[in-house]
Amino acid sequence: MQEQIGKVTIQYREEEILLQTEALEDARIRELLAEGYDCRQQQSPDWPVLYHLSHLRANLTQWLPVKKTDRVLEFGADSGELTGGFAGKAAEVICLEENFSRCKLLATRHQDVDNLVVYAGDLWKNLEQIEGNFDWIIAPGIVSEAQRYFAGENPQVQALKILKKRLHPKGHLVLAVDNRFGMKYWAGAMEPHTGRYFDSLEGNGSTCSRKELEVLLEKSGLGEYRIYYPYPERWFPMSMYSDHWLPGAGELNQNLRNFEGERLVLFDEEKVYDQIIADGRFPEFSNTFLIVAGSERTDLPIYVKYSNDRAKEFMIRTDILKTEDGCQVRKVPVSQEAKAHVTAMKHWEEVLGTQYAAACVKVNHCELKEDAAYFEFLSGHTLEERLDDLRAQKEYGKLAEALQEYKKLLLECLQQELQPFAVSPKFVEMFGTADFKKAYLGAPVNNLDWIFGNLMETEDGTQIIDYEWTFDVQVPVEYLIWRAVSLYLHSRSELKQMGYLAQLGISTEEEKIFEEMEHHFQLWLLGGTVTIGAQYLHTAGRTWKLEQLLKNAKKDQIQVYTDCGQGFSENNSFWIETEPDKEGLIRLTILLPAGCKAVRLDPAEETCLVKVRRILGELGGSYELPWSHNGRELENTGIVYTTEDPQLLISGIVEGTSRLYVELSVQTISPDAAYACMNLLNRVRRAERLYNSAPFKLLKKLKRTGK
């Protein structure tokens, strides 16, 4: 049987889908599709909505060099998250999906595509019925799902061998596998298939290590293959690294992606990644592997970076291609609206080449081919690298000199075109209504990305390697300088207090103006797009940091320090589990080491209210012990602590005392409440002192006499 949705045909066997039930999330997605919901412009607090409808899902495979003559099979197409990346490029796309409800979602979202056929029901039966082989088979989930379909040894091998037989001789099979030892699992993310912490690391998940993956590919007879490393992970990847192009230090800084549930944050992943990168072991700890198995081809990029989390007219992809002469950079529009932005780069090469000629700064050569812009891959060292070398050597004076050289070079490039700056309608559109306090100069055309990473010293002199953000809008020269320096200082906190901007003639007041300009500019580039970062804040599950976990773990514990003559130290401390009774009273029995002279109790590691009922020593009978604290007494209410290190100091311990008995209650309170109590207490104390003072008593006596 078949069902038609728009131009898309769904083929199915009625007996296979009769017993299927529609998931609740599918009904919700179907409603949103009917409403024209767009993840680019809207937010939903539901992970399933983002999973099924975010345009970033297609980043996983959209970059593959599918040609107009190719036949593509999408095996396990789900609701069509990846389908759009092939339908616009291939001759024919066939999608196999078990669930009929998901097939209807797929057909609905791509109903205007006329080269798409969808088969619902048993994947393997449907595959047998489809005639012919394929240039591309996209099966991202088959490695983790194979055990559902095949019994016996190596179900993954069985599945891959069947798919391999359906490839053309020069065809390619594309797989995605979560890495068993992915960095996110060490840092505290759940295993996605089991929903439990550390299952992947312990070997209980449907994940695969790099070594296991290579063995699997070899046993499956897939021959040649190339492994890519999607970052941050497979759901919303923004970059594709490979063994020919690995990440550099500081690049892996978007690591919180726990949309599907809560996670722990046990360490700073960016810093650990930097150490692993320095050690040359990133491939072992990538969160995901993407495998392109098949004959070697020159049109497969060695690196891919997406910039499509912004307005449609600026949505592009940057590829690095390996050529016979080295490498080449390609910028590709990933939306119809962005084609003009990409083709304009050739025009800006010519404009900037003329503008920079007087300063002998060259512009990276651009060539347009098939709507894409190709650039030379230049060799040399960027200004950013030079500044980082000086920073590493703590040559801060020379770094300041290099910044002055940068300013001088920029002014030389723009000198012949500088005019008194005037706010234009286009400036207001892009940068808002800035409240300038002084007059500036500016050129009519500006490359806003005159940043340190784009200035490279080559054998042919200084070159600007990327000029995507060039616009015919006048801005103050000082804004260009501020933008480059502030971007550099952003991730180099130790340099922020050294006054480099002031040395370049930019005041604190101007910084605020330029910050507001930049904020408006970034909003303009987004064009109303809700970024994945904003979606994360709105959608993600709870994130527990290690510090929070430790603090929560210690809420039902009291740390005890003993002093036997050497003072208090962590080495001479221990923890006692506490269990308050129904009235909140904690009863402790503390065994003392021989020669103990004093004891310190830390009742909590946060602001709190403590009420001590009694503290007794045991020496052939009990006796009361004196004690002090570092909080403030609230009369009969207890002791309020505004410190996160509250202490009770017990002294006067008689030699030979074997144990202490302590009864107290501990109630944690917010810092604001603690400070409010302290301020109130201080006011009461001041009032008491005033009331008991001699002048006040005299004043009262005079008033009585007057009456």
Per-residue pLDDT tens over the stretch 327-357: 999 999 999 999 999 999 999 999 999 999 9
Cα Rg of the chain (Å, integer): 34
Range of the domain at 520: 339-528
Shared domain for 504 and 374, answered yes or no, is: yes
Residue 62 lies in a domain: yes
- Examine the domain organization and report whether 131 and 30 are in the same domain: yes
Confidence grade of residue 195 (pLDDT, cut at 50, 70, 90) = confident
Please give the average per-residue pLDDT across 596-619, as a whole number.
92
What span, in angstroms and rounded, lies between the C-alpha atoms of 383 and 452? 5
pLDDT band at 249 (very low <50, low <70, confident <90, very high): confident
| pLDDT band at residue 666 under the 50/70/90 scheme | very high
Contacts of residue 480, Cβ cutoff 8 Å, sequence gap at least 6: 410, 446, 448, 450
Percent of the chain with pLDDT over 70: 95
Query: Quick one: average pLDDT of 469-495?
Result: 94
pLDDT tops 90 at residue 636: no
Q: Is residue 321 part of a domain?
A: no
Please report which confidence band the pLDDT of residue 579 belongs to, taking 50, 70 and 90 as the band edges.
Answer: confident
Partner residues linked to 330 by β-bridges:
319, 374
2's enclosing H/E stretch is: strand 2-5
The predicted structure's pLDDT at residue 694: 67
Q: What is the DSSP string of 494-521?
A: GGGGG-HHHHTT--HHHHHHHHHHHHHH
Q: Quote the pLDDT of residue 189.
A: 92
Question: 577: how many CB neighbours lie within 10 A of its CB?
Answer: 8
Is the predicted pLDDT of residue 458 greater than 60, yes or no? Answer: yes
Same domain, 519 and 592: no
Q: Which two tokens stand for residue 67?
A: 């040609």
In this structure, are 9 and 56 located in the same domain? yes
- For residue 591, list its beta bridge partners: 659
pLDDT at 691: 65
Same domain, 9 and 124: yes
pLDDT interval class at 634 (50, 70, 90): confident
Q: How far is CA 385 from CA 237, 282, 399, 451, in A?
A: 27, 22, 11, 12
- Tell me, yes or no, whether 474 and 391 share the same domain: yes
DSSP secondary structure, 379-422, as one string = -SEEHHHHHHHHHHTT-HHHHHHHHHHHHHHHHHHHGGG-EE--
Of 341, 297, 294, 290, the closest CA to residue 317 belongs to 341
Same domain, 407 and 510: yes
Tokens of 547: 């510090």
H or E segment and range at residue 706: helix 694-706
Q: Which of 95, 113, 138 is the last residue of a domain?
A: 138
| Inside any domain, residue 170 | no
Check whether residue 458 and residue 413 sit in a common domain.
yes
Instruction: Give the DSSP H/E element, type plus range, for residue 304.
Output: strand 303-307
At 81, which amino acid appears?
Answer: E
Query: What does pLDDT average to over the chain?
Result: 91
pLDDT exceeds cutoff 70 at 553: no
**What is the per-residue pLDDT for 18?**
85
CA separation for the pair 437, 441 (Å, rounded): 13
pLDDT average, residue stretch 206-217: 93
Helices (H), 36-80: 47-53
The domain that contains 73 carries what CATH number?
A: 3.40.50
Structure tokens that stand for 401 in this block: 């000199």
Give me the amino acid identity at 285.
Answer: F
Cβ-defined contacts of 252-256 (< 8 Å, 24+): 252/277, 253/491, 254/533, 255/183, 255/184, 255/187, 256/536, 256/540, 256/543
Instruction: Tell me what pLDDT residue 592 has.
Output: 93
Same domain, 23 and 131: yes
Model confidence pLDDT, tens digit, residues 361-418: 999 999 999 899 999 999 999 999 999 999 999 999 999 999 999 999 999 999 999 9
Q: Say yes or no to pLDDT of 286 above 90.
A: yes
Q: Is residue 165 part of a domain?
A: no
Same domain, 559 and 522: no
**Is it the case that residue 528 has pLDDT exceeding 70?**
yes
- Whether 559 has a pLDDT exceeding 60, the answer reads yes
What separation in angstroms does the CA of 173 have from each of 147, 292, 630? 19, 6, 68
Mean pLDDT of 281-303: 95
Residue 176, pLDDT score: 97
Phi-psi region of 326 (alpha: psi -120 to 50; beta: other; left: phi over 0): left
* Average pLDDT, integer, range 654-674: 89
Q: Which amino acid is at 600?
A: R
HSE, side-chain direction, 13 A CA sphere, residue 118:
34
Q: 44 falls in which pLDDT band (50, 70, 90)?
A: confident
pLDDT band at 278, cuts 50/70/90? Answer: very high
Claim to verify: residue 474 and residue 351 sit in the same structural domain: yes
Q: What is the DSSP string of 651-700?
A: --PPTT--EEEEEEEEEE--HHHHHHHHHHHHHHHHHHHHHHSHHHHHHH
With respect to residue 404, please indicate whether it lies within any of the assigned structural domains. yes
Helix spans in 242-365 (H) = 269-278, 282-285, 339-356
Residue 692 lies in a domain: no
Mean pLDDT confidence for 585-592: 93
How wide is the angle at C-alpha 431 spanned by C-alphas 430 and 437, nearest 5°? 150
For residue 689, what are the contacts with CB-CB under 8 A and spacing of at least 6? Answer: none
End-to-end alpha carbon distance in the chain? 107
pLDDT at 491: 79
Cβ neighbours of residue 156 closer than 8 Å, sequence gap 6 or more: 142, 143, 146, 147, 216, 220
Res 107: pLDDT: 96
Read out DSSP for 90-122? SSEEEEEES-HHHHHHHHHHTTT-SSEEEEES-
The answer to whether position 130 is within a domain reads yes
Secondary structure letter of residue 541 according to DSSP: P
pLDDT at 481: 97
Dihedral sign computed on CA atoms, order 207, 210, 215, 216: positive
- In angstroms, rounded to a whole number, what is the distance separating the alpha carbons of residues 690 and 678? 18
Does residue 624 register a pLDDT over 80?
A: yes
The torsion defined by the Cα of 694, 699, 704 and 707, in degrees rounded to 10, comes to 170
DSSP string covering 170-225? EEEEEEEEEBTT-HHHHHTPBPTTT--BTTTTTT-SS-B-HHHHHHHHHHTT--SE
Residue closest to 674 by CA, chosen among 637, 701, 643: 643
Residue type, 567: G
pLDDT digits over 416-443, tens only? 999 999 999 999 999 999 899 999 999 9
Compute φ and ψ for 147, nearest 5 degrees. -65, -15
Is the pLDDT confidence value at 701 over 80?
no
| Rounded mean pLDDT, 96-115 | 96
Q: Is 546 domain-assigned?
A: no
Last residue of a domain, one of 97, 118, 138: 138
User: How much is the pLDDT for 261?
Assistant: 82
Q: Is 450 helix (H, G, I), strand (E, B) or coil?
A: coil
pTM across the whole model: 0.81
Residue 676 has pLDDT above 90, yes or no: no
Q: Which H or E element spans position 550?
A: helix 546-553
Give the range among 56-65, 135-144, 418-427, 540-549 with minimum mean pLDDT. 540-549
Tally of domains within the chain = 3
pLDDT at 693: 67
Q: Are residues 437 and 575 in the same domain?
A: no
Q: Does residue 707 surpass a pLDDT of 60? A: no
Residue 700, pLDDT score: 64
